[in-house]
A and B are shown apart, each in its own frame.
Chain A
Amino acid sequence: MQNKSIAEMAADLRLRSYSSVELTRHYLERIARLDPGLNSFISVAAEPALAAAEHADRAIAAGTAGPLAGIPIAHKDIFCTSGLKTSCGSRMLDRFIAPYDATVVERLAAAGAVVLGKTNMDEFAMGSSNETSYYGPVRNPWDPTRVPGGSSGGSAAAVAARLCAAATGTDTGGSIRQPAALCGVTGIKPTYGRCSRWGMIAFASSLDQAGVLARSAADAACVLDEMAGFDPRDSTSADVAVPDYVDSLDEEIAGLRIGLPKEYFGAGLDGRVAASVHEATKELERLGADVRDISLPNSPLSVPVYYVVAPAECSSNLARFDGVRYGHRCEDPRDLEDLYKRSRAEGFGAEVQRRIMIGTYVLSAGYYDAYYLKAQKIRHLIADDFQRAFEEVDVIMGPTAPTTAFPLGAKMDDPVAMYLNDIYTIATNLAGLPGMSIPVAPVDGLPVGLQLIGNYFQEARLLSVAHRFQRATHWHLAAPEGFQ
């Protein structure tokens, strides 16, 4: 059952080949049996999931079912879910029960999806390996001694291990695409503003975007169809019409112009990853695409720019955690300042504190122009590079990450080495563009991701190109041993 596509599961449910309750029990059994070795879930919501499945079965019988009725999914633990803990991977929110559902959660529930639980993540989405979680690291199902990537590492590992049909994620600098690449699944980060940020715990508000991790582009399209769209409750939500992503999947690839930025194939990229990416673009050429070299000259600056902009916004956003209104509070505070300082020092892990301090520093009096203003200017140059490239090509492609999954602990002592994992994904967030990662030929049994970048609101095109590629190849069907 767990290897079927979402469309196949939906058809089976409608034909009563099995019920949503049976499907949900099947996934819950897999989670109970297989997740102890992965740690991809922070919370499993068995009873609410079965109740939702029963509801879906009744809706299907009554003919009132939504498009995702009875399909078991999981949410990254950054999305607020009323009545179910939302920890954001942090001790700070270890006992936080959100008083409302995020818009994304609400929309997927309205479409009939069954929520199995909340997935593990780097604390406050700050990390590229899922090792900064208060709930412990997630293990990569392809090799449990290696990281799944991050920050949506729990969602990526759970989808790869077939512990849910699809999962939500968020991407601020690569947090959907990089774990999708390292776990061999399909991930899409839509255009900034495409999916509502309401109820999604904020990290860097000008970069954060919700998206999907699934086993194929077709599955991702099914879920994104229900998530995307304008939300008046999010002041940066884009009021732009949403096409039907599933309907657009079969668009022709012939004549598609693909650009390979030379900056994405330079030093630092594992040669075997490069070979795998080139092999994939050759396949797209065989399908009729026209592949050419392009340049994004300012993209090498995206990591430095990001490590000003994201920490600055994070230091502001995380100022709300004060030990007073919600979240962790220290014992016996001497005074108000001691309450703030100790609650925050105890509630946040080391990486979150590092980023808050960097952000505080770059925004402090006398440093603003040299850091934040400078970064916002270079951000403009990076975004302009993409617009120039899109005059010549339709889709930009390259590796998602410079290497395959690395061993647990390998980069935890060197924040800068960890940050360089996102060297190919960050520019997309700075520009606000949509990006995807899809599995291509593995290296030494470990997944490799091909990144696809489109112009604003071109999610349908990315999904259709990915779908065409997946119809011609089998990489996305591979399952890690022990999880087939």
Chain B
Amino acid sequence: MSLDASDIEKIAHLARLAVAPESIERYAADLSNILELVTRMDAVDTHAVEPMAHPLHMSQRLRPDRVTEPDRRTLLQANAPLTERGLYLVPKVID
């Protein structure tokens, strides 16, 4: 499996990463090498094998549907790059 520059641009967009134009070729080569390693999986016939969902085959635990978290907005927003009156600020989305 070999990826080219346009594949990298598409993947980087899906992953929301601004990859510098000069790095694209390098990423294409690196990712192609990693996928080459991954293709070793093709040697195994797995059509009758169940996928492994959990190492210990445990199912998801559920808890009662009750509010357990206190309001810690001020503390949590202390880490935010930009807030105003308790709101997170982002660039204008709707004109």
Interface residues contributed by chain A, number (CB under 8 Å): 74
Residue in B15, B44, B60, B78 whose CB lies within 8 Å of A378: B44
Interface residue from A329, A350, A357, A364 paired with B81 (Cβ < 8 Å):
A329
Interface pair A344/B34, CB less than 8 Å apart: no
Cβ < 8 Å to A, chain B residues 66-92: 72, 75-76, 78-82, 88, 90-92
CA–CA, A470 to B46, complex, Å?
42
Tell me the A419-444 residues at the B interface (CB within 8 Å).
Answer: 419, 430-433
| Inter-chain contact B17/A344, CB cutoff 8 Å | yes
A326, A381, A430: the one within 8 Å of B80 (CB): A326
Which residues from chain A contact B80 at a C-beta distance below 8 Å?
324-326
Judge if A238 is at the interface, Cβ distance under 8 Å.
Answer: yes
> B27, A357: Cβ atoms under 8 Å?
yes
Known contacts A97-B79, A376-B52: A353-B41 contact under CB 8 Å: no
Interface of B is mostly: loop
Against B, the Cβ 8 Å flags (1 = close, 0 = not) of A353-387 are 11011101110100000010111111111010000
Select B41's contact among A305, A315, A337, A339, beta carbons within 8 Å: A305
Enumerate B1-50 residues with CB–CB distance to A below 8 Å.
Answer: 3, 7-8, 11-20, 23, 27, 30-31, 33-42, 44, 46, 49-50
**In the complex, chain A residues whose CB is within 8 Å of the CB of B55:** 192-193, 206, 383, 430-433
Q: How far is the CA of A380 from the CA of B61 in the complex (A)?
A: 22
The DSSP consensus for interface residues of chain A is helix
A345 at the interface (CB under 8 A from B): yes
Q: How many A-B residue pairs have CB under 8 A?
A: 169
Stretch at the interface among A11-19, A140-148, A258-266, A296-304: A296-304
Q: Is the CB of B12 within 8 A of A357?
A: yes
Tell me if A241 is interfacial: C-beta within 8 Å of chain B: no
Q: Say yes or no for A341: interface residue by CB 8 A criterion.
A: yes
- A416–B90 touching, CB < 8 Å: no
Set of chain B residues within 8 Å of A358, measured between Cβ atoms:
31, 34-35
Cβ contact within 8 Å between B12 and A303: no
Interfacial chain A residues near B92, Cβ < 8 Å? 335
A37 within 8 A of B: no
Q: A96-B79, A329-B82 are in contact. Are A206 and B54 (CB under 8 A)?
A: yes
Chain B residue at smallest Cβ distance from A346: B18
Q: A336-B93, A344-B17 are in contact. Are A324 and B88 (CB under 8 A)?
A: yes
A340 at interface, CB cutoff 8 A? yes
User: In the complex the two chains form, what is the Cα distance from A235 to B30 in whole Å?
Assistant: 35
Q: List 29 A-B contacts (CB under 8 A).
A: A99-B72, A99-B79, A206-B54, A232-B63, A238-B56, A239-B61, A300-B40, A307-B34, A329-B81, A329-B82, A335-B91, A336-B93, A339-B90, A340-B16, A344-B16, A344-B17, A353-B27, A354-B27, A360-B11, A361-B3, A364-B14, A376-B52, A377-B52, A379-B51, A381-B46, A383-B52, A416-B33, A416-B34, A430-B55
Report A's interface with B, CB cutoff 8 A: 95-97, 99, 191-193, 206, 232, 235-236, 238-239, 298, 300-301, 303-305, 307-308, 315, 319, 322-329, 333-342, 344-345, 348, 350, 353-354, 356-358, 360-362, 364, 371, 373-381, 383, 414-416, 419, 430-433, 456
Residues of B that sit less than 8 Å from A by CB:
3, 7-8, 11-20, 23, 27, 30-31, 33-42, 44, 46, 49-56, 58, 60-61, 63, 72, 75-76, 78-82, 88, 90-93
User: Given A381-B44, A432-B55, 7 other A-B contacts at CB below 8 A?
Assistant: A193-B58, A300-B40, A315-B15, A334-B91, A350-B23, A358-B34, A374-B46
The 9 closest A-B pairs by CB, nearest first: A432-B55, A376-B51, A329-B81, A341-B18, A326-B79, A377-B46, A345-B18, A380-B52, A377-B49
